[in-house]
Amino acid sequence: MKGLSRREMWAGLAFVSPWIVGLGVFLLYPILASLYYSFCDYSVFREARPIGAANYVDLASDKLFWKSLLNTLYFAALSVPLGLILALALALLLNSGVRGLTIYRTIFFLPALVPMVALAVLWLWIFNGEYGVLNSALSSLGVPAPGWLTDPAWSKPALVLLSMWGVGYAMVIFLAGLQDVPVHLYEAADLDGASWLHKIRHVTLPMVSPVILFNGIMGIIGSLQYFAIPYIMTPNGQPARSAYFYAMYLYDNAFLYLKMGYASAMAWILFLIILCLTLLSLRLASRYVHYEGG
Amino acid sequence: MKARHPLSRAIVYILLLGGSFLFLFPLFWMISTSLKPVEETMALPPRWIPSSWQPDNYWKAVTHGSEILGYTPFLEYGKNTVLLCVLVVVGALISNSLIAYGFARLRWPGRDVLFGVTLATMMIPFPILMVPMFSLFRHLGWIGTFRPLWIPAWFGSAFNIFLLRQFFLTIPRELSDAAVVDGCSEFQVFRHIIVPLSKPALAVVALFQFLFTWNDFLGPLIYLTDQRMFTLSLGLQFYQSQHGGTEWHLLMAAATIIVLPVIILFFFTQRTFIQGVAVTGIKG
């Protein structure tokens, strides 16, 4: 028996060995190095030189840091809740016993498949101030057309709007959650004469609350790292840095100004923000989220 | 929850149709613009359907600048992207299935701790890894090559390991025990019992890895330096930053070229795809 378990141990380590290397080289080493660099003056071309907490101190008085952070929080605060509501609403519609469910599901999911760069280029065209289809539709309806990507007041709402187009992933996850809600709960509610709104509020929402939590946390993590779309659509955060996001400033620090220690400090602050918001969501969840059988 | 009342059913269908229009319109607009003559892209009010079809736009978009560059950029980008996708998908399938088997089916000291660490690393945002990875790859002389974009995939990734481990755990142990009694090695059990039974989960891993690589923008942006080696995503961004604001018909043609393969793949793998997305939500 001893021999067998020893053999099993070696076999186990052999199977896992690629990951032991991968975890060490591509995760644990970079994590530790990044923490060290965040306390250093570092550009790839020179050795890292420790400078204590100077990067963090400098960040505290860096106006662009605060601006990019606030822009990012603004974007997340709008796009995450609105995305959750839209995804859940679409999933509820799909789950109401419609004919052609798979066709509608495909239609709502397709935009989520569009590669980020193609999506950015396409929406640059749709939002275009002179020939854009959105503004010509708005003006034919008599609505004044905003300068979506040229007016600092509209650039973030424009990006929130286009993020609604990509709710397909969250919708599919919601739909799976809704399909798992036992029918007998609705039947019981029907017997009690519950209205549609009552059933949503007292059956559906509690039953899918773990899925709302999951999609919410995923949304927070994703939106705080928002990069490719604004990098292409609002280069340098134009107009007037109104669409300059945290990850863009981080990237610029690392690869444009070669302030890699500074960028690493930003990355750790980002991680702490994500961690705090995730823990906060989980805390809120312990009050509102209902786990079946748990 | 079913909508039974005729009025509420009508409302549901109106919302679905309206929503479908809004979700499909941008894609329709992309394709429609890509087939228009250039003057018509600037017509006011916009024309829905091109007055004369210009499939030529696609060829122009694909070969744009080839006289100056001496090669056909988008064909080159396409080749690069396909090559990377193949390398990443093959590597991810082999490595993650082996690793997940080690976690799911074999007992060895430290296994559960290591699995816990593996799950915890999913919390780490990419910007933390970005700078040290760049300097590591620079020391290795990999910047400006494809290596940073595919070699890491051959060493596993936390999410895929988790996904496959959960799946392997659902395969009855009796199947593999019987094989071991018959004298099969662990690798034979893995190869001839576990892998054939895990095709749906492996398909999900392959699909997601393909999509990630096809769509990835930040990775190529950081690691690639030579224009000839750009991927489609990076190439389209480069093209847009050079010619943006004028040649919308060509930009939309190039965008369509990048979008279409993904959509076609989706239609062929819809079931696997939707299940994969749903499973990540429920198990995650």
pLDDT tens digits along B89-133: 999 999 999 999 999 999 999 999 999 999 999 989 999 999 999
Domain assignment present for B200: yes
Q: Is residue B277 part of a domain?
A: no
Within a domain: B1: no
B34 touches chain A (CB under 8 A): no
Is B254 within a domain?
Answer: no
> Tell me, what CATH number does A105's domain have?
1.10.3720.10
**Residue B140 shares a structural domain with residue B229:** yes
**CB–CB of B106 and A98 under 8 A?**
no
Task: Going residue by residue through chain A, which has 294 residues, state the pLDDT in tens, using 9 for 90 and above.
Answer: 455 688 889 999 999 999 999 999 999 999 999 999 999 999 988 889 999 999 999 999 999 999 999 999 999 999 999 999 999 999 999 998 889 999 999 999 999 999 999 999 999 999 998 889 999 999 889 988 889 999 999 999 999 999 999 999 999 999 999 998 998 998 899 888 888 888 999 999 999 999 999 999 999 999 999 999 999 999 999 899 999 999 999 999 999 999 999 999 999 999 999 999 999 999 988 888 888 754
- For the whole prediction, is pTM greater than 0.95? no
Whether B195 and B45 have beta carbons less than 8 Å apart is answered as: no
Which amino acid appears at position A41 of this protein? D
- Are B160 and B43 members of one domain? no
pLDDT band at B282; cut points 50, 70, 90: low
State how many domains chain B has: 2
CATH assignment at residue B152: 1.10.3720.10
Closest residue by Cα to residue A134 from A121, A119, A150, A123: A123
Q: Do the bridges between strand A40-41 and strand A49-50 make them parallel or antiparallel, or are there none, so unpaired?
A: antiparallel
**Hey, is the C-beta of B44 within 8 angstroms of any chain A C-beta?**
yes
Chain A residues closer than 8 Å to B281 by CB: 172-174, 176-177, 211, 214-215
Question: Tokens at residue B73, please?
Answer: 């950029």
Question: In Å, how far is A75's CA from the nearest CA of chain B?
Answer: 18
Q: Which domain holds residue A278?
A: 61-288
Query: In terms of Cα–Cα distance, which of A178, A183, A199, A201 is closest to A90?
Result: A178
Selecting from A14, A16, A110 the residue whose C-beta is nearest the C-beta of B263 gives A110
CB contact under 8 A, A31 and B240: no
Task: Say whether both B56 and B187 belong to one domain.
Answer: no
B112 and B233 assigned to the same domain:
yes
Whether residues B49 and B142 fall in one domain: no
Residues B182 and B127 in one domain: yes
- Residue B179's CB is within 10 A of a number of other CB atoms, namely 17
Q: Are residues B55 and B138 in the same domain?
A: no
Instruction: Tell if the CB–CB gap between B23 and A165 is shorter than 8 Å.
Output: yes
Q: Does A53 touch chain B (CB under 8 A)?
A: no
CA dist., res. A112 & res. A89, Å (int): 16
CB atoms within 10 A of CB A192: 10
Calpha distance A72→B282 (Å, rounded): 28
Nearest to B24 among A107, A260, A275 (CB): A107
A208 touches chain B (CB under 8 A): no
Nearest to B191 by CA among B90, B96, B99, B97: B97
Residue A138 lies in a domain: yes
**Contact at 8 Å (CB) between A132 and B281?**
no
Domain with B15 in it: 6-60
Q: Number of folded domains in chain A? A: 1
| pLDDT surpasses 70 at B63 | yes
Q: Which of residues 188-227 of B touch A (CB under 8 A)?
A: 190, 211, 214-215, 217-218, 222
Quickly list H helices, A1-154.
2-23, 29-37, 54-60, 63-94, 101-113, 116-127, 133-140
Torsion A253-A255-A257-A262 (CA) sign: positive
Residues B85 and B49 in one domain: no
Question: Which of residues 117 through 176 in chain A touch B, CB cutoff 8 A?
Answer: 117-118, 120-126, 128, 130-131, 133, 136, 140, 165, 169, 172-176
- Evaluate whether residue A111 is within a structural domain: yes
Q: Is A293 left (phi over 0), alpha (psi -120 to 50) or beta?
A: left
Task: Report pLDDT for B279.
Answer: 77
Which chain B residues have a beta carbon less than 8 Å from that of A271? 124-125, 128
* Domain contains B251: no
The predicted pLDDT at position B5 comes to: 81
The answer on pLDDT for B178 being more than 90 is no
Amino acid letter, residue A268:
W
Rounded-to-integer distance, Cα A112 and Cα A168, Å: 5
Task: State which amino acid sits at residue B8.
Answer: S
This complex has an ipTM of 0.92
- Residues B99 and B40 placed together within one structural domain of the fold: no
Helix (H) or strand (E) holding B61: helix B56-63
